[in-house]
Each structure stands twice: as C-alpha cells, then as structure tokens.
Amino acid sequence: MEGEEQKKLKGETKEKIVQIFKDFLTSVAKLDELVAVGGRLLTGFQQGLEFLRRPPINMTSKLIESIIKANETKRLKSYLQAGCIKSHDSVQNTNKLHTSLPGLRNHLIKVKSLLNDLESLLEDARAALQTANEHFSPLLDKEPVDGLDLQESSGEDEMAPSPLREPEVTDYAALMGIIYSMVKQDYVMQDKIVASLNLKSSSGELESYCLMWSLRPYINDQIMHLAWKLVP
C-alpha cells in the first residue's frame, strides 16, 4: 500500500476509534450517575430499616425515669406507648423500605443495559482494529496502554500520557477493555449487595454495603483519569 493511502487509512481508523472511545466514556459517565442514585436508594433502605427497629427508651435508667416523671405530659405518654416512634416518621420510613428495594432492582436493570452498550462499543472498536490490521500490520505493532509513558503529575495522584508520543488506536481500545472489566465487576458487586438485602440484614452488614457501594473498590481512579485525558 502506498504511503499516502496508508496514512489516510490510519487517520480514518484513529478518528473512528476515538469517536467510539468518546461514546464509550459517555456511557461510563451515565453509569457513574446511576451508581450515585443507587447509593441513595441503598442509604434509604438502611435508614428506614434502622429507624423501624430502633430500640425503645431505656426506662431502667434513673436519669431517663426522672426526666420523664418531670415532664409526664399526655403527648409524652402517647409517644412512649407508640414505642417512641412518631406515626409520620413510621409511615415515611416504611415507605422507604417499600420503594428502595424495587428502586435498586430497577437500578440494576439500567446498569445492565448500559453494560450491554459498553460491550457493543468495545466490539465495534475491536472490529475497527481488525479491519485496519488486515490492511497494514504496523498499526498494531505497539503495546497498548503499557506503551504510554505514564508519569505522576506533581502534587496530584493521577497519571498523564507523556508528550513523547501521541496515543495509538490500540491504547484507546485497551483502555476500553480495562474500564469495561472494572465497571462489570462493580455491577456484579452491586447485584450481590441488592440480592442480600432483607429485613434481617444487620446494622454492620448495611453499613458495609453502603461503604463498598460508595468506595467502588473495583474502579481504578487513575485509569479513569487517564482515559478522560485521552479524549481530544
């Protein structure tokens, strides 16, 4: 293949891959938004359940007993008889329990749909690389991602591509594969958390679930920062 024609094909391939990469990250951003919404639903379930099983006032405490006797109004008596739960709060937190679980299940359906979109875009990128590789092998000669000279930015814990060379199409494709693997593992974790939720879930379990949901341990922030930096 002549030099000019090869150069043109490389340019077209990179343009196509970069556009796929942009669409891919757009879907990843939508996933991030869904995770935040799911986190609020999970917190709502935790708060609702913890409120309804909150222990009553300890009447054996002499201090509490003296406070109650000094302020023994009809309103306070009714409150104590109701288990120290206001009817409005009880209804509100019961509604949280009834809406949180269906909301979380619906959340998982939306996440799964976006994962399917990401997988489709990943396949598009692979197909574009395969087509290009059939025309000229040098396009795939360089190692993806590892070929990027990553350096720490001063004062910030993030990676940046070295100015020594422009990212190759294989870098974009490899990053897509890595990110897809991360978000899929994150989804599996969320699915397991939602499946384990019930009225008998302990306070410790619920707190750990909320923490893991928020931390997203399978997501490497440095990889994500690098990916967004590669968007032209």
Q: At how many degrees (to 10) do helices 3-52 and 203-215 cross?
A: 160
35 is a domain residue: yes
Nearest to 161 by CA among 177, 179, 147, 140: 147
Residue 72 lies in a domain: no
Residues 17-26 have pLDDT tens digits of 999 999 999 9
In a domain, 56, yes or no: no
Does 59 reside within a domain? no
Given a contact cutoff of 8 angstroms between Cβ atoms, the answer to whether 183 and 112 are in contact is no
Assess contact for 118 and 24: CB atoms under 8 A.
Answer: yes
pLDDT tens profile 47-85? 888 877 776 665 666 776 676 666 766 665 665 655 555
Confidence of residue 169 (pLDDT cuts 50, 70, 90): confident
Identify whether 79 is part of a domain: no
Q: How many domains does the chain have?
A: 1
d(CA 125, CA 137): 16
User: With contact defined as beta carbons under 8 Å apart, do 213 and 39 qualify?
Assistant: yes
* Within-domain flag for 195: yes
Residue 36 lies inside a defined structural domain of this protein: yes
Dig out the tokens for 180 from the structure.
Answer: 């897809």
pTM of the predicted structure, to 2 decimals: 0.75
- Residue 8 lies in domain: 3-44+102-229
Cβ–Cβ < 8 Å for 162, 192 = no
Is residue 147 one of the residues assigned to a domain? yes
128-167 pLDDT, tens digit per residue, is 888 877 665 544 444 454 445 444 443 344 444 454 467 8
Q: What is the dihedral of CA 149, 152, 157, 159, to 10 degrees?
A: -20
